[in-house]
Amino acid sequence: MQKHVSFAGNLVIVGFGSIGQGVLPLILRHIDMSTDRITIITAEERGHDEADEYGVTFVNHALTPDNYRDILTPLLGRGDFLLNVAVDVSSLALIELARDRGALYLDTCIEPWAGGYTDTALSPSLRSNYALRESILARKGDGQAPTAVVTHGANPGLVSHFVKQALVNVAVDTGHPHQVPSCRAEWATLAQAVSMKVVHIAERDTQVAAGRPKLVGEFINTWSIDGFVGEGCQPAELGWGSHERHFPADGACHDFGSGAAIYLVRPGASTRVRTWTPTEGPFHGFLITHSEAISLADYYTVMENGTVRFRPTAHYAYHPCDDAVLSIHELAGKSWTMQPTKRLIVEEITSGIDELGVLLMGHAKGAYWFGSQLSIDEARRLCPHNNATSLQVTVAVLAGMVWAIENPRRGIVEPDEMDFQRCLEICRPYLGPVVGVYSDWTPLAGREWLFPEDVDHSDPWQFKNFRVV
C-alpha cells in the first residue's frame, strides 16, 4: 500500500470508538510511523483488543476539564500529533493544548465538554454549532501556529471537498468559463455565477444487520450513538441563503459572528426535509446540525460594501439506517432521554450502502448530486474494523492528517480552506463508486395532488418548500 507521508513524531489518539478503531489501520497503512509511538487515551474499555492487535498503547482514562492537561502534556511535544475522535471532550481545550505544545491537531467535529450541548444555563444560540465554531475561529490568529484541522471527518469534512469538485463540474457543464479557483473569493464568485442556491449534504444509509431486530429501549446505529444523539438533540441549524424569502416561524438568528446561519427552536432529529440521492431517489431526511452547514454558507458568501450579495442555503439532510430511524422515534417519545441500551452495528451488517454526497441546486441544470456510494461489502474488502459509514469518515481523517503533516504551520484550518484535490486523491480509493448525477427533481415534485400545502411555486429552491411540516 502507498505511504502518503512519513511522520517522525508521536501520535496521541483521544477516543477509540468506531472511528478510532476504523482509522488506526489506515494510519498504519498510509503514514510511515512505528506503532510504539502511538498512544490511545479513551474513556472506556471498548477497542482494547483492537489496540492490542496492532501493538498500540491503550490507556483507559476519561479526560475531564480538571485532568486533561496533566494526562496529555507528558505525551505531546513539538512536532507530535493529537488526533481527537472523542465525544464529550472539548475541542477548543485540546486545540489550545496542542498549540501550546507545538503539536499538530485534527478532529471530526467541534465538541464541548460533557453536558455542553444540553446546558440550559446557556441559550440555544450559545450552545449551538454556530457558537462552537465561532469560539474556535476566534483563536485562528495569523495562520503561523501548528496546523489544527477542525471538523474533518466525512461530514463535516469530506463533503466540503465534494462541493468544490461538484461546483467545478457544474460550471463546466453549464458553460461557465473558469479556471479552478485558487482562493475563497474566487470560489464564492464561481458559486454565484453558477447560481448554487442550495447545498444539501444528502445522505441515505441502507445498511441492515442480521439477527435480532431492534428491541424496546435500545438505540441502534452504524456509527457513534452518543455522537448522533448529542447532535440530534441540538437545535436544527442551517446556513441561510440570500435567495430565501420566507423566514421560518420557529427560526432565530444569532446576534454575534458571521451571520451565515440560523437555527430552529426544535431538535434536529425532529426536523425533516425533502432531498434526493441517485440510488434512493426522493426521501425525507433529518436536518441534523452540522458545522459544514455553517462553514459552507460562510465560505461561499459574496460581500459588496458590507452587504451580502450572494450566499447559499446549506444543511444536512440525513436518513440513517432504518433501525436508527426507529431508535430516534422512540427517543423522541421519551422526551429525548437516551435508551438504556445501545447497539453499534458493524460486523452484524449483512447488506446495504451509505450513499453520501452533496446536492447542488438552483443552477441551470437543476440539481446535481456528487458523492460516494460505498457498500458494506466493499468497505470490508478495503479496510478492517469499518462499515460503509465509518470508512467514509476514517479515510477523511487520514486525508486530513496527511494534509496537516504536509502543511504543518497553517494554524486553525477548516475543510473548505484545504486543498480539495489532494484530499480527494487520498480518499477516492476507499469511497466505492464516486459519481456525479444530474436530476430534474425539486422539492415540489409529485406534491401537487396530495394536499394544498403552503409552498412557493415561483422558486422551488426556497427552504419552506424543502421542509416537511
122 confidence band (pLDDT: 50, 70, 90): confident
State whether 180 and 288 are in the same domain.
Answer: yes
Residue 156: closest CA among 245, 4, 288, 248: 288
In a domain, 407, yes or no: no
In a domain, 424, yes or no: no
Nearest-angstrom CA–CA distance, 37 and 263:
43
The CATH number of the domain holding residue 127 is: 3.40.50.720
State whether 102 and 142 are in the same domain.
Answer: yes
Question: pTM value?
Answer: 0.97
Specify whether the backbone of 300 is left (phi greater than 0), alpha (psi in -120 to 50) or beta.
alpha
**Residue 352, helix vs strand vs coil:** coil
Residue 47: closest CA among 15, 10, 86: 15
Over residues 161-172, the mean pLDDT reads 98
In a domain, 418, yes or no: no
Structural contact between residues 222 and 349, judged by C-beta atoms closer than 8 angstroms? yes
| pLDDT tens per residue across span 220-263 | 999 999 999 999 999 999 999 999 999 999 999 999 999 999 99
Structural contact between residues 114 and 68, judged by C-beta atoms closer than 8 angstroms? no
Nearest-angstrom CA–CA distance, 368 and 60:
45
State whether 95 and 241 are in the same domain.
Answer: no
- For the chain, how many structural domains are there in total? 2
Residue 99: closest CA among 113, 114, 80: 80
| pLDDT tens per residue across span 261-290 | 999 999 999 999 999 999 999 999 999 999
State whether 348 and 459 are in the same domain.
Answer: yes
pLDDT in the model for residue 453 = 72
| pLDDT tens per residue across span 42-66 | 999 999 999 999 999 999 999 999 9
Over residues 370-387, the mean pLDDT reads 98
Structural contact between residues 286 and 227, judged by C-beta atoms closer than 8 angstroms? no
State whether 70 and 166 are in the same domain.
Answer: no
In a domain, 413, yes or no: no
Rounded CA Rg of the chain: 21
State whether 198 and 105 are in the same domain.
Answer: no
Residue 423: closest CA among 164, 250, 178: 164
In a domain, 415, yes or no: no
The H or E element spanning position 274 is strand 272-277
115 confidence band (pLDDT: 50, 70, 90): confident
Dihedral angle at the C-alpha atoms of 297, 299, 302, 306, nearest 10 degrees?
Answer: 90
Residue 293: closest CA among 319, 255, 258, 248: 258
User: Which structural domain, as residue segments, surrounds residue 200?
Assistant: 158-387+429-468
Higher pLDDT, 60 or 120: 60
State whether 121 and 199 are in the same domain.
Answer: no
Q: Where are the alpha helices (DSSP H) in 334-429?
A: 376-382, 388-406, 420-427
Count of residues making up the chain: 469
Nearest-angstrom CA–CA distance, 180 and 169:
10
In a domain, 96, yes or no: yes
State whether 126 and 263 are in the same domain.
Answer: no
Residue whose C-alpha cell reads 510511515 in the numeric block: 32
At 158, list the grid cell: 469530506
State whether 140 and 216 are in the same domain.
Answer: no
pLDDT, the chain, mean: 96
State whether 322 and 174 are in the same domain.
Answer: yes
Buried b (16+ CB within 10 A) or exposed e, 261-296: bbbbeebbbbbbbbbbbbebeeeebbbbbbbbbbbb
State whether 121 and 198 are in the same domain.
Answer: no
- Which residue among 83, 117, 149 closes a domain? 149
In a domain, 365, yes or no: yes
Instruction: Please count the helices (runs of H) and the strands (runs of E) in the chain.
Output: 14, 26
pLDDT in the model for residue 121 = 86
pLDDT in the model for residue 212 = 86
**Residue 336, helix vs strand vs coil:** coil
Nearest-angstrom CA–CA distance, 122 and 120:
5
Structural contact between residues 355 and 200, judged by C-beta atoms closer than 8 angstroms? no
Beta strands in 17-175 (DSSP E): 31-32, 38-42, 57-60, 81-84, 104-107, 148-149
Q: Is the pLDDT of residue 217 over 80?
A: yes
Fill in the DSSP letter of residue 181. Answer: -
In a domain, 400, yes or no: no
Q: Where are the alpha helices (DSSP H) in 154-239?
A: 158-173, 184-194, 225-233
State whether 30 and 175 are in the same domain.
Answer: no
- Which residue among 116, 149, 182 closes a domain? 149
Alpha carbon 175 to chain centroid, angstroms: 31
| pLDDT tens per residue across span 338-369 | 999 999 999 999 999 999 999 999 999 999 99
- Which residue among 149, 167, 186 closes a domain? 149
**Residue 186, helix vs strand vs coil:** helix
Residues 6 or more apart whose CB falls under 8 angstroms from that of 289 comprise 128, 129, 231, 234, 235, 236, 237, 263, 268, 316
The CATH number of the domain holding residue 162 is: 3.30.360.30
| pLDDT tens per residue across span 414-452 | 999 999 999 999 999 999 999 999 999 999 998 877 666
